[in-house]
Each structure stands twice: as structure tokens, then as C-alpha cells.
A and B are shown apart, each in its own frame.
Chain A
Amino acid sequence: MSAFAKSEANETFVLNLGPQHPATHGVLRVKLTMDGEYIVEAEPVLGYIHRMHEKMGENRTWAQFLPNTGRMDYLHALAYNHGYVSVVERAAGIEVPERAEYLRVITAELNRVSSHLLWFGAFILDLGGFSPLLYAFDDREHILDLLESVTGSRLTYCYFRFGGVYNDIDDNFVPGTRAFIKRLRERMPMYHNLVTKNIILMKRLQEVGPISAEMCRKYGATGPVCRGSGINFDVRKHEPYSVYPEFDFDVPVYDQCDSMARYMVRMDEIEQSLRIIEQGLDKLPEGPVMAEKVPKIIKPAKGDYYHAVETARGSFGVRVVSDGSNTPYRLKLRSPTFSNLSLFGEACQGMLLPDALALMGSLDLVIPEIDR
């Protein structure tokens, strides 16, 4: 028996990734059982930033919960605004003026672009490339400025109200947004030349981190994760809400199932979102931005209601149970990355540790949204 022969004894060891680790983008801890550089088992440990938003919802009026929605997925706060106001509008039967719906779509799509840009920079940073982050943040800064002028805040937006939006856009918003679209369209080829066609990135992502379509279904994965596995599922097309049916846009789908496919889905989505914003600015109707007859105290009829929206990370659903009073009886928030992360344990088995980190980056995790 040679000195290097494998012994009978269990030679695995436990490696703690996080809760303070740059690759986990927040306070996520992963307990890894390792066999050398290979992962035998991975168990994500959650709850480090759990704030019990669902209980908070039961303790305040329908309108008072609005600011909470921007504090779960802080990168795509407007989509969370949109999901919550939509379900309450559905429950209470509130009609929204067309201009307000257009403003909602335009700002939510701008927010989606800013979310994808941040993911792009942080993802490449995970893989060891520093400079794309600086380029992405440069572009993202323009969106934050545009949204700040409309919504009043730069990150945790609370712009939508039951029956409309909080205020109308100013004179600079439309030309500023058009200039930004032009700028980002000119920058996208640079991103592709600098990053997408980079041989190191290709070697790190192609055929790494496979997630099959069946695995997506069993775990309930949505958003770019399932679209990178060949599933054409986008809530904006699948169960159209707001004024999305009036826009012409494509849903990028790649069927390679690897980390590269998920990367490409998001890069293509940036361009599709720009198309939506441009059409929105072209068609933006005149009119009020707030419905006239919205009661000050909302009391939806008894029963339960569901509404889903497409956030940058997947399908966000809100189920509310109303008992006819001015506070929600029950408020369930179905966050997309909770489901997307739950497949990580199965997907990363047998992978090299650096590849698993690339896979984790391609899931686009936002921890406050998982923990809620």
C-alpha cells in the first residue's frame, strides 16, 4: 500500500463560507463539506438579516406597509412596490390612470437596468475582475440620478401609491432618460468586448454550474435562472400586468443551462428593458398620475388575493388575506431568490469551490430579500 493510497477514514472537512464573506453579497452563510477542493455537500444557513416583514404587515395599515416593500430587494425596489400596490389595487378594486401605469413601467424598467448593472459589476468582481465594476457603477449612477429626481430617493424607493404614483416626472426626466438610453447602448458593445468575449470569463462560466430545467421546476426557480435553462417564463409575458401588453419586447432564453447562459440572459435583458423604456417615453400619455377616488383608508373586501410581478431576479408574488379591516390579516411575500438559492445545495455537489462561487454569483442573490 503506497503512502498516497486513500484511507478508509472519512477525509472530508467542513468549511464555513460567510456570514461575512464578499462572495455571498451580504450575510449569507454556507456550510460546505469539502473533499479537498471539491464540494461534497453544501447547506446554506439563512436568517442573519431576518426582519419579519410579514408580521410587520399585520401590525400596520395597508398604506403604512409601502415603505417596507422597498427594503426587501433593495436593488429592484420599484418592482416590489409594484407587486404590493397591484395586489392591494386588485383587492380593493382601484383603477389606475394610464399615465401612472406608464410611469410605473418606465421607472421599474430603469430600476431593473440598474439592478442588472450592479449584478454585472459584482459578478465579475466575484470572478476576480475588478475594473468592470467601476464601469458598471458609472452607468448605474446616471439611473440613480434620474430616479432620484422622480422618486426622491436613490435606493429604497417608495414611489408607487394605491391608485397611481407619488408625483409626476419633471421636465428633465424624458430628455435625461433618452440620453441615458443612447449612452448605455453605446456602452453595451464595450461591455461585450471587454467582458463577454474575454477568454478567462468564458473558461470560468461555460459548461460550469449546470441547472437543468427539471431542477428549476422542482425548486420553483424563476427569472434569469430558469430562462438560462431554456424555460421561457417571464411574468411580464406569462400573466401580463400593468401596461406591459402594449410594449414590444423579447424574452431572452438560453438553453445551455450553465452560468454563461444566465449571464447572457441578464445582459440581453438590459437591452430589452431599454427598448421598453424607449417605447414608454414615446407613448407616454398625458393625464393625471393618481386616481381621483381612492379612499384615504383602504378596506379591501374579505378574501385572499394574489399578484405576481417580474423582478430582476424572478417572480415576486404577494398573497394577502383581508378580513375587511384597515390592516392586512395575513401578508405572504414570495421572494424569487429564496427559491433560486434553495437549489444551490443540489446544484453545486461535486463542483470545485471557485466554480460554485461562480454559480452562486450567477444566481444574483440579494440576501435581505431571501431573509425578509
Chain B
Amino acid sequence: MNCGAIKQKLAASGAQAVTETEYARKGFALDVQVAPEQLVAAVSVLDAEGFFIEAVTGVDWLGEQAALRKEAEAKAAAEAKAKADAAAAAGEEVPAAAPPAEQGELAEDVLEAVYDFNHYDGLCRVTVRTRVPRSKPEVPTISQIYPGADWHERETHDFFGIIFVGHPYLVPLLLPEDADYHPLLKDFRP
């Protein structure tokens, strides 16, 4: 079991980014970011390497774009202030504060589907992530590769409303059979 070789193969399968993480700090060895279209290819690589599926879940990143913009604005403001301070200290004329840059519409927030894979003979936990827009959360199913993903995907659909395209039986698993709400969304109100 060689994590490095698997990293190569995953990168070759079209993953957007494959990062080696520090296992002792994070608890997993490879962090793989893929586009939804490349998910099946990446999971097929792991299947061929003999990985087993640990879990499928989601994360709702509601408000992430706004937070990123706020962070960028704060950074820009801090830089401008530092510049002004430096200028004042040097006795130069303080330049007028630049008007805040015109910013377009916020990009849409995303839902992230997270897949955990592990290997029976070697320490190499692989986390595969794929991001989809909140308004159209569609991810291809991997239940034809791993039948065990069937239930995990149903659970993720229950909690986040992520639609696993091609899933044979995407009905509520843990929630009541007529549930039309997704409780782990950050804007869910009971």
C-alpha cells in the first residue's frame, strides 16, 4: 500500500487537486478535490486499488462566499491603513482612501459532498470532496461501484438534499418517508 502511487493515479484520473495532509494532525492522508463529473473516475481508481468505503456525507457552506469577501475587504482595508500609517510616519501627505472597489454579485454558496475511503492493509485514508451549487446540488451516484454507498447517499440526501443522479432508490432512509426538509442545511428552521 503506497499512498504516493495512489496520489499519482488520482491526479491522472482528472482530480482538480490532490493534497497530501499530515496524518497525525488531520486523521487522513490524502485530500482529493474533484469536479462532480470526475467523481466516478476518481472513485473507480480507489476501487481498483482495493479501498473500502467508510462514509459519505455533506457539508453546507452557506455564507462562505460572503465571509470570503469580508475577509478580503478587511485585508484590503488593513493594507490601505498600513500604507497610510507608513506615509504619515514618513511625513508625507496621506493619500486619500481609495473608494471601495465595485464588487459584483456574490458567487453562489456550495454544498460539499465528502467521501471517506480507507484500506484494509495500510494506513491511507483518502477523503474525496466535490462541490456543487446549492441551487442545483447534483452529484453522480457511486452506488454502482460501491453498493455500500447506497445507504450513505440516501442519508446524505435526507440531511442535505444533495441529489445523487442515477441512484436506484433515493427515498428517505433515516427521516420519515414523506420528509421534504433537509435538517443539516444551515438555513433549515424546524
Chain A contact residues, CB within 8 Å of chain B: 46-47, 50, 52, 54-55, 58, 87, 90, 216-221, 226, 231-233, 238-239, 303-308, 315, 317, 319, 321, 329-330, 332, 334, 338-339, 342-343, 346, 371-372
Please determine whether B148 and A218 come into contact, CB atoms closer than 8 angstroms.
yes
- Distance, CA A332 to CA B113, complexed state (A): 12
Q: Please give the distance in Å from A224's CB to the nearest CB on chain B.
A: 14
Pairs A–B under 8 Å by Cβ, sample size 29: A47-B172, A47-B175, A50-B174, A52-B183, A54-B159, A54-B184, A55-B183, A58-B184, A90-B26, A90-B27, A217-B50, A217-B52, A219-B53, A220-B53, A238-B120, A239-B125, A306-B116, A306-B125, A306-B127, A308-B125, A317-B54, A319-B114, A332-B57, A334-B55, A334-B116, A339-B53, A339-B148, A342-B147, A343-B148
Contact of B116 among A217, A317, A346 (CB under 8 A): A317
Using a Cβ cutoff of 8 Å, how many contacts connect chains A and B?
99
- Distance, CA A90 to CA B159, complexed state (A): 26
Please determine whether A308 and B120 come into contact, CB atoms closer than 8 angstroms.
no
Q: Please give the distance in Å from B32's CB to the nearest CB on chain A.
A: 13
B120: chain A residues at CB < 8 Å are 217, 226, 231-233, 238
- Distance, CA A338 to CA B149, complexed state (A): 11
Please determine whether A346 and B147 come into contact, CB atoms closer than 8 angstroms.
yes
A238: chain B residues at CB < 8 Å are 120, 123
B25 CB within 8 Å of chain A: yes
The residue on A at minimum CB distance from B120 is A233
B59 CB within 8 Å of chain A: yes
- Which of B27, B50, B174 has its CB near the most chain A CB atoms (within 10 A)? B27
- Which of B53, B146, B148 has its CB near the most chain A CB atoms (within 10 A)? B148
- From 131 to 151 in chain B, residues with beta carbon under 8 angstroms from any chain A beta carbon are 146-148, 150-151
B176: chain A residues at CB < 8 Å are 47
